[in-house]
Amino acid sequence: MHIPDGFLDAKTALATGALSAAGLGYALREVRRELPPRRVPLLGLAAAFLFAAQMVNFPVMGGTSGHLVGGALVAVLLGPAAAVVVVATVLIVQCFLFADGGVMALGANLFNMGLTATVGGYAVYRGVARLLPGLRGRVAALAFAGWCSTIIAAAACAGQLAWSGTVAWRVGFPAMVGVHALIGLGEGAVSALVLLAIARTRPDLLPDQPGAAAAPGRVGPFVVFGLLVTLGIALFVAPFACPWPDGLESVAARLGFNHPASSPLLPALIPDYQLPGITSPGLATALAGAAGALVVFLLAIGFSRLVVPREGPALKTEI
Amino acid sequence: MTVLAPPSFASGDPRANRAVLCWPAAAKMAGALVLITGTAVVPAGWKLWFAGVALLLGVVWALGRLPPGPVLRRLLALSPFVAGVALAAAWSPGGVLDWKITALRSGLCLATVILLAQATPFAEMLAVMRRVHVPALLVTTIALMHRYLFVLADEAERMRRARASRTFTTGRRFAWWAAATVVGQLFVRATERAERVYDAMGARGWR
């Protein structure tokens, strides 16, 4: 999902750069305040770990293989602020040392993978892990969070490409989100398996259960990161995806000034996403997305039941 | 799993011209930034700009006597993204943009970054970042990542090989388990190494 140079125009590069700089600056401030000095080298080592982990291949169908992306995993292991710094470091080094992802597109890549995927994934993880108890719940939560983080980053990427006029939204969005809905399944499963492997060998390295009483519960990071991500999504995705213009048009018709618009304001959403019986395409897309998310959520719970034995992390070996 | 190529090819190449390597890093980084920004935003009609950038890159390349292999390999690796966008653009009614220009832009920018990475030692880039007041914590993290990147990549490769030599199976489910265990163990080892690194840094008077 690394966007190369030349695919984004100046306004998108500037907007994403400003959002990412604000997010990274806040994350650095947060880390400096929260992290004990003893853990500072861990940021660099975790970035190196993430880079090395991305090179471990997982076999997929037909001889192809995939690899971990790891935004949600690192966010769960280290917390959201540290994860933003770690993933941003990986992206910066990949950009300048390995020419992976463009320099002008660095802001967009930081926003998609460094900010949206990590913070979004972490928020989903917290929410789900609070509902489901035990290690099984955390595995299911991370599996679902990995999928969500992949999807949301892909949607933001499609929105940026559409905003730059590189790929039309109604082509780019189904393609990006469709492909990443599959990739995200692997990402979620692998992240959950890694969490399980760490829980088996060094459970003390994992953070506390989110529902626990002593869980660190500062609200500030959530508000600031949430605001930045929401702002970005509103900027890149909402102009194309939200159903408001339909409502606006109906209001205009009711009030009587329904003279035809000079040009189509928005590209039509892909008809395949429409569910039968629902007329508003925006609502249909939202419902289809919700149904897909629900299916993946149930899959994640089933997956966690499959891989985690009943009595927590027993010493029984798999296979 | 692929074995990493060393990041700076030129510094270890005896045939490389030291002149390009010895140019001030700040100037090289600023120049690269100007080239990349310009190439990414100039209108598609400015053929002269693209030709000029290509010529300039070629001249620096020749001056530095840098090996052409890595840049060609990376340009090939870029092509899936360009091909995907070209396909998407072909599907778009009315052709949203000329994908050839986009490919040209990203190719030139990519060549600039690769040239910069090869002609500039990473430590000098870090020093420039420090001088332009990039937050110290970020620079430290980048420096540590660069230091341990290859160490941990080698460690992952060793663990993968050890696992492969111990277990003999073709099941896909087990392969996922094994790879996830390697990644999990890698995190555990990275954490332990971070503690040792902190002790060593403290012993040398860090902070």
| Euclidean distance between CA atoms A103 and A4, whole angstroms | 8
When scoring A1, A24, A49, A90 by the number of chain B Cβ atoms within 10 A, the one with the most, hence best to mutate, is: A49
CA distance A262 to chain B (A): 18
Q: Looking at beta carbons, which residues of chain B come within 8 Å of A188?
A: none
Q: Looking at beta carbons, which residues of chain A come within 8 Å of B147?
A: 44, 48
User: C-alpha distances in angstroms, A285 versus A4, A112, A160, A174?
Assistant: 29, 22, 19, 11
Within A94-247, strands assigned E span none
Q: Looking at beta carbons, which residues of chain B come within 8 Å of A78?
A: none
Is the CB of A99 less than 8 angstroms away from the CB of B110?
Answer: yes
Give the residue from chain A lying closest to B186, CA to CA: A49
Q: What average pLDDT score do residues B71-80 get?
A: 70
Is the CB of B183 less than 8 angstroms away from the CB of A59?
Answer: no
CB contact set of A237 (below 8 Å; sequence gap of 6+): A155, A156, A158, A159
Given this model, what pLDDT does residue A259 score?
A: 42
Is the CB of B184 less than 8 angstroms away from the CB of A90?
Answer: no
Is the CB of B152 less than 8 angstroms away from the CB of A52?
Answer: yes
Nearest residue to A53 via CA among B78, B87, B182: B182
**Residue predicted with more confidence, B24 or B130:** B130
Q: Is B14 left (phi over 0), alpha (psi -120 to 50) or beta?
A: alpha
Structure tokens at A45: 């080592």
Q: What is the ipTM of this complex?
A: 0.84
Given this model, what pLDDT does residue A146 score?
A: 92
The answer to whether A126 touches A35, Cβ cutoff 8 Å, is no
Is the CB of B74 less than 8 angstroms away from the CB of A31?
Answer: no
Structure tokens at A1: 């999902």
Given this model, what pLDDT does residue A38 score?
A: 83
> How do residues B86-127 score in pLDDT, each as one tens digit?
676 666 655 545 667 777 888 888 888 888 887 888 888 899
| Euclidean distance between CA atoms A269 and A28, whole angstroms | 39
Is the CB of A5 less than 8 angstroms away from the CB of B40?
Answer: yes
CB contact set of A198 (below 8 Å; sequence gap of 6+): A77, A205, A206, B184, B187, B188
The answer to whether A175 touches B161, Cβ cutoff 8 Å, is no
Global pTM value: 0.82
Torsion of Cα atoms, A244 then A250 then A256 then A262, to 10° = 60
Within chain A, strands assigned E span 57-59, 65-67
pLDDT in 10s for each residue of chain A, 319 residues: 788 887 888 888 899 999 999 999 999 998 888 888 888 889 999 999 999 888 887 777 666 677 888 889 999 999 889 999 999 999 999 888 887 888 888 999 999 998 999 999 999 998 888 888 888 888 999 999 999 999 999 889 888 888 887 777 877 788 888 888 888 888 898 899 999 999 888 888 887 665 554 445 567 777 888 888 888 887 777 777 654 444 444 444 454 444 434 333 444 444 444 445 555 666 667 777 778 888 888 888 888 877 777 654 445 444 4
Nearest residue to A272 via CA among A284, A257, A280: A284
**Residue predicted with more confidence, B160 or B70:** B160
State yes or no: pLDDT of B131 exceeds 80.
yes
Structure tokens at A131: 């509902």
Q: Looking at beta carbons, which residues of chain A come within 8 Å of B28?
A: none
CATH of domain A10-206+231-238+268-307: 1.10.1760.20
State yes or no: pLDDT of B188 exceeds 60.
yes
Please report which confidence band the pLDDT of residue B142 belongs to, taking 50, 70 and 90 as the band edges.
very high
Given this model, what pLDDT does residue A218 score?
A: 66
Give the residue from chain B lying closest to A167, CA to CA: B89
Q: Report domain extents, chain A.
A: 10-206+231-238+268-307
Q: DSSP string spanning A150-181?
A: HHHHHHHHHHHHHHTTSS-HHHHHHHHHHHHH
Torsion of Cα atoms, B30 then B36 then B40 then B41, to 10° = 30
Structure tokens at A23: 């997010």
User: C-alpha distances in angstroms, B91 versus A134, B97, B105?
Assistant: 48, 11, 21
According to DSSP, residue A116 is labeled I
| Euclidean distance between CA atoms B60 and B202, whole angstroms | 42
Q: Looking at beta carbons, which residues of chain A come within 8 Å of B106?
A: 4-7, 102
Give the residue from chain A lying closest to B43, CA to CA: A9
The answer to whether B120 touches B28, Cβ cutoff 8 Å, is yes
Is the CB of A93 less than 8 angstroms away from the CB of B33?
Answer: no
CA distance A296 to chain B (A): 19
- Closest partner residue to A171 among B92, B125, B135, by Cβ? B92
Q: Looking at beta carbons, which residues of chain A come within 8 Å of B105?
A: 5-6
| Euclidean distance between CA atoms B207 and B187, whole angstroms | 26
According to DSSP, residue A111 is labeled I
Give the residue from chain A lying closest to B8, CA to CA: A97
Is the CB of B152 less than 8 angstroms away from the CB of A98?
Answer: no
> How do residues A69-90 score in pLDDT, each as one tens digit?
888 999 999 988 999 999 999 9
Q: Looking at beta carbons, which residues of chain B come within 8 Å of A39?
A: 194, 198
- The amino acid that residue B164 corresponds to is A
